[in-house]
A and B are shown apart, each in its own frame.
Chain A
Amino acid sequence: MLTFLALTSVALLGIVPEQSQAIVIYTGWERHALVGSDIRLSCSFFSWRWTSEDVTFSWTYRPDGSRDAISIFHYTGGAAYLDNKGPFRDRLEFVGNPGRRDGSILLKNLELSDNGTFTCDAKNPPDIVGRPSSVRLLVFEKVPIQAGVITGAIIGVVLGLLLLIVVIYYLMRFLVARRVFSLSVSKHGKKKKEGSQQRQLWTPPPLTCYPLP
């Protein structure tokens, strides 16, 4: 038993260092926003190691239709460096908390040209092997109606009306049947009462004795 426990613990210790080298980064998949609004792009990571002081976050931006990505944000050594030359100068703000593994940025006053893919790459030394995660930003003039909302609404309303009509129809039939039943019961009851009253009024005729011839 003890040897078995020792063997499994050795095996686990052997496996865990393999996994601890991989860092997993989480961002959203797709974000929608209106022109002129602000949007927060979140980025966090999972790592087997404690959060080190040398943790770094970096965001890069690749516009729609372009093949090059430019760097717009970098956090390292406890300081955040924002874009001061590119398309996001004066529109970027760091709202993350590196101590809590959060490297989110805030984009202000969105424009239509901001459509593109934002990639977050985080490193937590010595955990540096990981795949950067991307979030796609879609900026609209007005919020488009999602596919199927109107379709579902029309179908739902019509089928709901149908169901309502069927329910009302059966309810009316049920109520009418009940009213007919209660009417017939009350009539039957009245007849019974009248019958008993008549019996009380009806007095037996007086007995008259006829002498036998």
Chain B
Amino acid sequence: MLLILLGVLILHVIILILLIVSTAATAWSVGNSGGKDLWYKCSTNSGVYGCLPSSNEDWIQAVQALMILSVLFCFFSLIAFLYQLFRLVKGGRFFFTAIFQILASVFVMCGAIIYTVMCPEDKKIYTHFGYAYVLAWVAFPLCLISGLIYIVLRKKE
């Protein structure tokens, strides 16, 4: 029992770290000389590494909001899990934790889909998707699975 609990907790923390790295790293679209993410586009021009603020279009702000919300909800579900671990009645299910975790996975999915569809057309410099984009897509099924585990999990003596 303790092993399962520890495993679930470690999975949750890993998901949180993946989400935070994905939101913050400058590698959603990468090219030869630099990377672009939700907040800045950075490139190395003639030896100088500089960053410019990303475009202020509507869709990129929506992706920013969805990624931040997913990080927040994953964090809330971690807090709810720790709280319910000590205060839940015997035999109860971790509903709050599951709801927040599933919402977080939905937000990551929406954010990644919007970014894929409205991908910046700057094909000259930024040629393909970077690791932060991949992390977002990896975090989505992990988050969903974690949420479903919480629905099934029951508190024993």
Listed in ascending order, the chain A residues whose CB lies under 8 Å from chain B are: 144-155, 158-159
A153–B64 CA distance with the chains assembled, in angstroms: 11
- A188 CB, nearest partner CB in chain B, Å: 29
Residue B11, interface by CB 8 Å: no
9 closest cross-chain pairs (CB), A and B: A154-B65, A150-B61, A151-B65, A151-B61, A151-B64, A147-B56, A155-B65, A158-B69, A144-B56
- B43 CB, nearest partner CB in chain A, Å: 19
Please, could you name 12 A-B residue pairs with CB atoms under 8 Å apart, sorted by A? A145-B56, A145-B57, A145-B61, A147-B53, A147-B61, A149-B61, A150-B61, A150-B65, A151-B65, A154-B61, A154-B65, A155-B69
- B70 CB, nearest partner CB in chain A, Å: 11
B56 pairs with A154, CB closer than 8 A: no
A-B contact count (CB 8 A): 35
A144–B62 CA distance with the chains assembled, in angstroms: 15
- B72 CB, nearest partner CB in chain A, Å: 8
A88–B52 CA distance with the chains assembled, in angstroms: 32
- Interface on chain A toward B: helix, strand, loop, or mixed SS? helix
Q: Which of B23-66 contact A (CB under 8 A)?
A: 53, 56-58, 61-62, 64-66
A150-B58, A152-B65, A154-B61 given; 7 more Cβ-contact pairs under 8 Å: A145-B58, A149-B61, A151-B61, A151-B68, A154-B66, A155-B65, A155-B69
Q: A155's closest neighbor in chain B, by CB?
A: B65
Residues of A within 8 A of B58 (CB): 145, 150
A153–B72 CA distance with the chains assembled, in angstroms: 15
A152–B69 CA distance with the chains assembled, in angstroms: 11
- B51 CB, nearest partner CB in chain A, Å: 14
Size category, B interface? 10 to 19
A146–B55 CA distance with the chains assembled, in angstroms: 10
Residues of B within 8 A of A145 (CB): 56-58, 61
- A61 CB, nearest partner CB in chain B, Å: 26
Determine which residue in A146, A149, A150 has the highest number of CB atoms from chain B within 10 A of its CB, and name it. A150
B69 pairs with A148, CB closer than 8 A: no
A1–B69 CA distance with the chains assembled, in angstroms: 68
Residues of B within 8 A of A146 (CB): 56
Determine which residue in B57, B58, B69 has the highest number of CB atoms from chain A within 10 A of its CB, and name it. B69
Determine which residue in B53, B61, B62, B68 has the highest number of CB atoms from chain A within 10 A of its CB, and name it. B61
A149–B60 CA distance with the chains assembled, in angstroms: 11
- A164 CB, nearest partner CB in chain B, Å: 15
Q: B56's closest neighbor in chain A, by CB?
A: A147
A142–B86 CA distance with the chains assembled, in angstroms: 55
- B45 CB, nearest partner CB in chain A, Å: 17
Residues of B within 8 A of A154 (CB): 61-62, 65-66, 69
Residues of B within 8 A of A158 (CB): 69
Residues of B within 8 A of A149 (CB): 61
- A157 CB, nearest partner CB in chain B, Å: 9
- B68 CB, nearest partner CB in chain A, Å: 6
A181–B11 CA distance with the chains assembled, in angstroms: 44
A172–B72 CA distance with the chains assembled, in angstroms: 26
Q: A157's closest neighbor in chain B, by CB?
A: B65
Residues of A within 8 A of B62 (CB): 150-151, 154
